[in-house]
Amino acid sequence: MEELLAVRAASRQVAGRTLWRDLSLAVATGDRLVIDGPSGSGKTLLLRSIAGLDPFTTGGCEFRGRTQLEWSMPAYRAQVMYVPQRAALAPGTVLEGIRAPFGLGVHKDKSFNPAAAEQVLADLGRPARLLETDTSNLSGGELQSVLLARALLLSPAVLLLDEVTAALDPELASQAEQVLISWSQVGERGLLWVGHDRDGQSRMGTDELRIGKVQ
Amino acid sequence: MNAIAISDLQLVLAASRVLISLALSWVLRLGLGRDIAISSLRMVVQLLLVGLILAWVFSLQNPWLVLGIGLVMTFLAAHAASRRPKRTYPRLLLDSFVSILISALLLTSLVLKGILDVQPWYLPQYLVPILGMVLGNALTGVSLAVDRFTANLDAGRAEIEGLLSVGATSREAAHAAVRDALRAGMIPTLNSMAVMGVVSLPGMMTGQILAGADPATAVRYQIVIMFVIAASTALGCLMSLELAYRRLFDSHQRLRIDRLLVRS
């Protein structure tokens, strides 16, 4: 199996407190790694560090054999994509919000296909008319579906998923899980999963990493 | 030009008008009495002092002295500009100083040499008031622009990091925040240009006319000054935003919200 992403001997301190240290993990093609740990153990910070939005205190991570620092960050993040539990979209319609990243320099060789957007939303159990909704009127659950759809349409190699089904009702949540599982089984793809729901973890994970032992 | 001189007695007469404000404050129980008295006193002392300093500078006609005064004025403007934004970051004062200095230097020298062709270039009767007006407006623009930019980053963090995480460069992710902040910095200047002469008679023009200048000449000076003010405000805002952007995003295309401090 080809290794996609690896974190080596990483640690993170916040205000003098060590959240995790000597942390290593690897994600190969088809892997779905569940990150588990008590609340406050730095799961979100780990995903954000892998995405390059926060620094590692020591150690670092590699994607396709090159360290994060060797990559140009936009190219790296276009492939190792972080999907937060909550994010905001610029004012406008959902369609504009989903299309916006295709206007970025790093995605200029990709073209936005509205039909594909409708399809992804349908797979996530959302009607096509959601595309016409104003982003400020989205419920928490709808926003999660939209952010997930936006990430999937940009076809990254690794998804860093931070509680992305937390605001979805159980039916939509399991639909989203199914979409992500089948997504991970095609081509060279893998994902990291943070989610507090035990059943969700066991459905999603091919492997598990526990972090944040009390020091 | 011969202006009617204002005698000491007449100044005292004018100062007595402040009693009206004081009486109002007392009658309406506004509790502003102390503030009004202190502000009035400060204004009088500051202006009298400046009058003395300017008279001295004008009489010496020394380029180094004029430049020194200009630098002190610029520093005071930068200091005022950096104190106003609600959120600050390390070295905001330096950034404000650099952007105000460069824009004021460029535009003031353009007027003195390029447009008016003042001989010698450091003639303080021209340099000091023109620089003062340019600084005053640049300082307002810079403080408004930086205030808006840092507020945008703070409030828009989720949106900006959302863009970064799908592969935006920090410049792409900051674009909307910068554009909005630039607009905020330019609004006072654009507004005052739009109503100039109709609603407000600008201070410089009023002063010139009161001092006996031909209104047509005063108007021409005002037009030159307004364009210079607009250009220096735009330049000052742009530079301060570029510098703030470089402090608040790092070379790994990360938003460094941790560098932002909210002033208490």
Express each pLDDT in B200-216 by its tens digit. Answer: 677 778 888 888 889 89
Express each pLDDT in B131-189 by its tens digit. Answer: 998 999 999 999 999 999 999 999 999 999 999 999 999 999 999 999 999 999 999 99
Give the DSSP H or E segment for A166.
none
Predicted local confidence at residue A215, as pLDDT: 44
Spell A81-109 as b/e; 16+ CB within 10 A means b.
bbbbbebbbeeebbbebbbbbbebebbee
The CA distances from residue B192 to A93, B115, B205, in Å, are 36, 22, 14
Q: Which residue has the tokens 């999907």?
A: A83
pTM value is 0.87
For chain A, domains (ranges, CATH) are 30-51+72-207 (3.40.50.300)
Residue A53 contacts B, CB cutoff 8 Å: yes
Helices (H), chain A: 43-50, 73-79, 94-99, 114-123, 140-153, 170-184, 198-204
DSSP letters of A137-148?
Answer: G--HHHHHHHHH
Residue of B161, B166, B251 best to disrupt the A interface, most CBs of A under 10 A: B166
Predicted local confidence at residue A152, as pLDDT: 97
| pLDDT greater than 80 at residue B113 | yes
Of A55, A69, A74, the CB nearest to B168: A74
Of B36-45, B195-204, B214-223, the poorest mean pLDDT is in B195-204
Q: Does the distance separating the beta carbons of B166 and A154 come in below 8 Å?
A: yes
Express each pLDDT in B181-193 by its tens digit. Answer: 999 999 999 998 8
Express each pLDDT in A61-95 by its tens digit. Answer: 999 999 999 999 999 999 999 999 888 899 999 99
Q: How confident is the model at residue A1 (pLDDT cuts 50, 70, 90)?
A: low
| pLDDT greater than 70 at residue B229 | yes
Q: Does the distance separating the beta carbons of B161 and A104 come in below 8 Å?
A: no
Q: How confident is the model at residue A198 (pLDDT cuts 50, 70, 90)?
A: confident
Q: Which residues contact B144 (CB under 8 A, 6 or more apart)?
A: B184, B185, B187, B188
| pLDDT greater than 50 at residue A36 | yes
Identify the closest residue of chain B to A69 by CA–CA distance: B252
| pLDDT greater than 90 at residue B118 | no
Closest CA to B221 of B97, B79, B91, B125: B125
Calculate mean pLDDT across residues B17-25.
85
Predicted local confidence at residue A4, as pLDDT: 95
| pLDDT greater than 60 at residue B248 | yes
* Residue A28 φ/ψ, nearest 5 degrees: -105, 170
Residue B169 contacts A, CB cutoff 8 Å: yes
The three-class DSSP label of residue A183 is helix
Express each pLDDT in A132-174 by its tens digit. Answer: 999 999 999 999 999 999 999 999 999 999 999 999 999 999 9
Q: How confident is the model at residue A213 (pLDDT cuts 50, 70, 90)?
A: low
Of B158, B163, B253, the CB nearest to A73: B253
Of A49-63, A192-206, B203-217, the poorest mean pLDDT is in B203-217
